[in-house]
Structure formats: structure tokens, C-alpha cells
């Protein structure tokens, strides 16, 4: 197990993903973690993440320096290296030349443990404005760049290593190799983190936690709640009750698919609350995206609460919370992420319903959840489903949400999905969806002048949704999508393609 101390890096989750890709379990903890907790976790190694602060600033994040006396191998990345240097008696100063982006890394012979098998000249990704002025006693520089004399350092005797650059990003050409060297060459980790082992441990833990009580799960049909439902069902069977709220904001045929899959195929106890009118009444006249989200969240909680009260002996509420959700919800991590939008979840329910919360996926990333679904025998069309927002089509309709506008978008989206699948692009894309704009444009259909709606097609590629690039779909595919939407969806006479990346744009429009 590897412990990652989060000093606020935008890449902290990426560090964790890189570790787990090597089948080694890891956890991200805030700098305030105590030494007793660290001893309890018994990590085979510690990674100190990067961060936006300078170690000489008054309120810069710090971890208990006692970690350097635990006899555990430590890898410091960027700020993590600078913290290690400062804590052990070295000096960190402001750099005359800041270094951001690509840099040529020169590994100094013999290179040290982290650079075993790495080319002597390689490209790395820098992001820092401070530099090492003086290394602590026992340390030696192991790499440099044109602007940074100490781009890497180590104290081999104490098994302390530091990299001024970011090995976790793809831009550092041999970064994966460097991390593997730390995990296996230095820490002697074993490849024990598999989904088979996770299922075994999770089922045992769920049974021990739940006992003979009943669990309620808010089922949406998305990957996370679907995998959580199947895992819980494997552990406790019919003592799991799934509540599916049909809010009328779903894709074409979505509600019927959810009921058929989980109710009939998996033989689960699924209760369906049909609440289309309630949601649409609440959204009447509302155009602001954040108000939409809050209204949908409030109505969802009211309906879910009402349905849950009908279920006797319920003691637990299950959610498909993932590790990134858990990390971002802890302000103590001190990370740079801000709340860009409110998330539609059932966060207020456990206290309101006097239920204990159970989150069986809370230590998994999205790609691991998909692997878990595969391990549980779930079909690819479920576990590889593209992300779909909790508020549904309401946040893909810019402006007021009405039944008529929902029908237009739902039908356009169905055409898009059909063509994306037929073109064998569904699994290649992180997300693909249609957006309905609050404007109309002039067109000619047959011999008649039209004044109809505009549909935007959005398709992006990404590894984790932290960044995303617009998908370079073939022109003939885009042409088929546009032609079919205009010909088949009444009320649309123009289709446009969104070629914005994240950042600066977000993936969703609202």
C-alpha cells in the first residue's frame, strides 16, 4: 500500500491512478494525517504530492516531519521534494527563471534507484517557480535541466527520493518507469490490487456492516450506481431495494431499460417512482443552470424520501460515490479545485431519513469501477456507458425545460447515439451528446421557409474528465448525424459541432 500526501496538486488523483495501474493499492490523505494513522495504515511507501504553494510561505501545507523517522521510503514530487528538502535542513528559494512545460532532463551517472533503466536524456514536464538552493546532508543531485540544477535528488541510505518535475503526467516520457522503479525497486510492493480481490473483500465487508438489515440504493442506470447495485446484490441479495426515480429528464427509452435490466435480468427489488410531471412543474420558467440543478436535487430528495419510507426495516442508504468525489468533498485536502457547479446527489438523505451511509465504491476510480463491473459479469453496454449528468437532459437544454423541448432533444440525442455506435466510436469517446440551444435559425425545407431550433453536437476524448479534447470525428459521420437529425427530428433545421476543449470550456454546457 502506498500513502499519497496531498499538498494541493492538480495532479494528485493522477498520481493515485498511476500507482493503481501497477496493481498497487494507494490512498490519498491530507497533510494533517497523524503519525499514528500512518502507522496504522502500514504503507510500504509514501509519496508527497506537488502543490501550488511555496514552502517558505507562512501558511504553506505541511505534514508531520516525523514521517522522515518512520523508516518508510518517500518520494517527493515538485512541492513534495521542496518540503522534504526544507524539513531536513536544506534550502528552497525563489527561482530567477520559472520553469513550466517541457524540459530536457539530464540524468547524472549513476542516476540512482528512480532512474534505473531510464534514458540519460529524456523529456519531462515542469511546473515550478522555486528551486533547491541547498540540499540537506546525505542528499545528492541525480538529474538536472537547463534551468534547474537540482531536477532530482536522493538520499539512498534513507530511501528518500525527490523529483522537481511531474512523473505522473503523460508529458514526462519515462515517468511511468520512474514510478515503477519507486514502487517495485525501492518499496518492494507486490501486485495485489485486483478487482477479484476487491470483490472478495468488499462482499465480506458489506455483509459484516449490514448484518440482517435492509439497504436502499438510489438507482440511476449510470455506471456507478449500476455497479454498486450489482455488488450489493451479490453481497446481501433481496435485502437490497433499489429506488429508481423517473424524472422525465432521461434519454429515449432509458427508464424502460433500467427496469428491465435490474428488475427482470438481475432479479432485484426495484421500486420505480414516476415523477415526470413533478419535475417539469418545478422547472417551469427556470432558465438559470444552477437553479435547475438545485430544483432537481430538492425534488429528487423529496420523492426519494417518500418512496423510501414505504420500505420497512431499512437501516442503510447506499450511494455510488467514487474516490474523486470523496477527495474533492474534503476541503482539508487543500487542493486547488473549486466548486464549478453543484452536483445532483442524495447527500442530504442519510441524516433526513436517519439512515447510515454505505458507499461500496468510495475508494475506486471510474476505470476501476468499469473493471469491477466486468468482474461481476455485467454487460459491456452497461459498464461502458458514457457519463450522464444527474439532472439529465435538463442541463443539456439551454434555457427553459419543457416537454416539447425535451422531445426534440431526446430524439436528436437518440439519432446521435445510434450513429456514434454504428460508426464504432462509442467506446473511443469519453462523452458524446446533443445540446438544444435557446435560439432558432432560418432554413428552407422543401419549398418552405422555416424558423426552427439549433442542435449542438458535443463529443470529447479524455482519460479522466479533468481535461478533455474535442473529438476529431470523420466528416462523413458528422454529415450523417446532421442529415438524420434535420430530416427525422421535427423542429430542428440546423446542426453545429462544438470544437472547444476543456479547459477553457467544460464538457457539459451547463
Whole-number average pLDDT of the chain: 91
pLDDT of residue 350: 57
* Of 65, 2, 54, nearest in space to 28 by CA: 2
- Distant-in-sequence contacts of 191-198, Cβ < 8 A, 24+ apart: 191/22, 191/23, 191/24, 192/23, 192/24, 192/25, 193/20, 193/23, 193/24, 193/25, 194/23, 195/368, 195/371, 195/372, 195/374, 195/375, 196/375, 198/364, 198/368, 198/372, 198/375
Active site residues: 78, 166, 168
- Determine the average pLDDT of the residues in 269-287: 95
Q: What is the pLDDT of residues 149-160, one digit of tens each?
A: 999 999 999 999
Grid cell in block for residue 390:
444527474
The whole model's pTM is what?
0.82
pLDDT of residue 330: 57
pLDDT over 50 (residue 435): yes
pLDDT over 90 (residue 74): yes
- Determine the average pLDDT of the residues in 87-96: 93
- Determine the average pLDDT of the residues in 388-400: 94
* Of 170, 188, 164, 7, nearest in space to 82 by CA: 164
pLDDT of residue 334: 43
Separation CA 482–CA 158 (nearest Å): 62
pLDDT of residue 207: 97
pLDDT of residue 318: 94
pLDDT of residue 339: 37
Q: For the chain, which domains are there?
A: 2-186 (3.40.50.880), 195-383 (3.40.50.620), 402-497 (3.30.300.10)
Separation CA 262–CA 267 (nearest Å): 6
pLDDT over 70 (residue 97): yes
pLDDT of residue 353: 65
pLDDT over 80 (residue 107): yes
First to last CA, the chain: 39
pLDDT of residue 427: 94
CA atoms within 13 A on the CB side of 97: 9
**Could you give the percent of the chain with pLDDT greater than 90?**
79
pLDDT over 50 (residue 12): yes
* Of 106, 96, 98, 116, nearest in space to 141 by CA: 106
**Bridge partners, residue 27, by sequence:** 3
Burial of 407 (0-12, 13-18, 19+ CB in 10 A): middle
**66 to each of 41, 81, 185, 342, 478, how far by Cα in Å?**
15, 16, 24, 38, 58
Alpha-carbon torsion (402, 405, 411, 416), positive or negative? negative
Q: Which residue has the higher pLDDT, 406 or 99?
A: 406
pLDDT over 50 (residue 338): no
Amino acid at each position: 500500500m502506498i500513502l499519497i500526501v496531498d499538498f494541493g496538486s492538480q495532479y494528485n488523483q493522477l498520481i493515485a491512478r498511476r500507482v493503481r495501474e501497477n496493481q498497487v493499492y494507494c490512498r490519498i490523505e491530507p497533510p494533517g494525517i497523524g503519525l499514528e494513522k500512518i502507522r496504522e495504515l502500514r504503507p510500504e511507501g509514501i509519496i508527497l504530492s506537488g502543490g501550488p504553494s511555496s514552502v517558505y510561505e507562512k501558511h504553506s501545507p505541511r505534514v508531520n516531519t516525523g514521517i522522515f523517522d518512520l523508516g518508510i521510503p518517500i518520494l517527493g514530487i515538485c512541492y513534495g521534494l521542496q518540503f522534504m528538502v526544507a524539513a531536513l535542513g536544506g534550502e528552497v528559494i525563489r527561482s530567477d527563471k520559472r520553469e513550466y512545460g517541457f524540459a530536457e532532463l539530464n540524468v547524472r551517472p549513476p542516476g540512482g534507484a528512480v532512474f534505473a533503466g531510464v534514458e540519460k536524456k529524456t523529456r519531462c514536464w515542469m511546473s515550478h517557480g522555486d528551486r533547491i538552493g541547498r540540499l540537506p546532508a546525505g542528499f545528492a543531485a541525480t538529474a538536472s535541466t537547463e534551468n534547474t540544477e537540482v531536477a532530482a535528488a536522493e538520499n539512498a541510505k534513507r530511501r528518500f527520493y525527490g523529483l522537481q518535475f511531474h512523473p505522473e503526467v503523460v508529458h514526462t516520457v519515462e515517468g511511468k518507469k520512474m514510478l515503477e522503479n519507486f514502487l517495485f525497486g525501492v518499496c518492494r510492493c507486490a501486485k495485489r490490487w485486483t478487482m477479484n480481490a476487491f470483490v472478495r473483500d468488499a462482499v465480506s465487508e458489506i455483509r459484516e456492516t449490514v448484518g440482517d438489515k435492509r439497504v436502499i440504493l438510489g438507482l440511476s442506470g449510470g455506471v456507478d450506481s449500476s455497479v454498486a447495485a450489482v455488488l450489493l446484490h451479490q453481497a446481501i441479495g433481496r435485502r437490497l431495494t433499489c429506488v429508481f426515480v423517473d424524472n422525465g429528464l432521461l434519454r429515449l427509452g432509458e427508464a424502460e431499460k433500467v427496469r428491465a435490466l435490474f428488475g427482470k435480468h438481475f432479479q432485484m427489488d426495484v421500486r420505480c417512482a414516476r415523477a415526470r410531471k413533478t419535475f417539469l412543474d418545478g422547472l417551469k420558467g427556470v432558465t438559470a443552470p444552477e437553479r435547475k440543478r438545485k430544483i432537481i436535487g430538492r425534488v429528487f430528495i423529496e420523492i426519494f424520501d417518500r418512496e423510501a419510507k414505504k420500505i420497512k426495516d431499512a437501516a442503510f442508504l447506499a450511494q455510488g460515490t467514487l474516490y474523486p468525489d470523496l477527495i474533492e468533498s474534503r476541503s482539508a485536502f487543500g487542493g486547488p479545485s473549486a466548486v464549478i457547479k453543484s452536483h445532483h446527489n442524495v447527500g442530504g438523505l442519510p441524516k433526513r431519513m436517519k439512515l447510515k451511509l454505505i458507499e461500496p465504491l468510495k475508494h475506486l476510480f471510474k476505470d476501476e469501477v468499469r473493471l469491477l463491473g466486468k468482474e461481476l459479469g455485467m454487460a459491456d453496454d452497461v459498464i461502458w456507458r458514457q457519463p450522464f449528468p444527474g439532472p439529465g437532459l435538463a442541463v443539456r437544454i439551454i434555457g427553459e425545460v419543457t416537454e416539447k423541448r425535451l422531445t426534440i432533444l431526446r430524439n436528436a440525442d437518440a439519432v446521435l447515439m445510434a450513429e456514434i455506435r454504428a460508426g464504432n466510436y462509442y467506446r473511443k469517446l469519453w462523452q458524446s451528446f446533443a445540446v438544444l440551444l435557446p435560439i432558432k435559425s432560418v432554413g428552407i425545407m422543401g419549398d418552405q421557409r422555416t424558423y426552427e431550433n439549433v442542435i449542438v453536437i458535443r463529443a470529447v476524448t479524455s482519460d479522466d474528465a479533468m481535461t478533455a479534447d474535442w473529438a476529431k470525428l470523420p466528416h462523413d459521420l458528422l454529415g450523417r448525424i446532421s442529415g438524420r437529425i434535420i430530416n427525422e427530428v421535427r423542429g430542428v433545421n440546423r446542426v453545429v459541432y462544438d470544437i472547444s476543449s476543456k479547459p477553457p470550456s467544460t464538457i457539459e454546457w451547463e
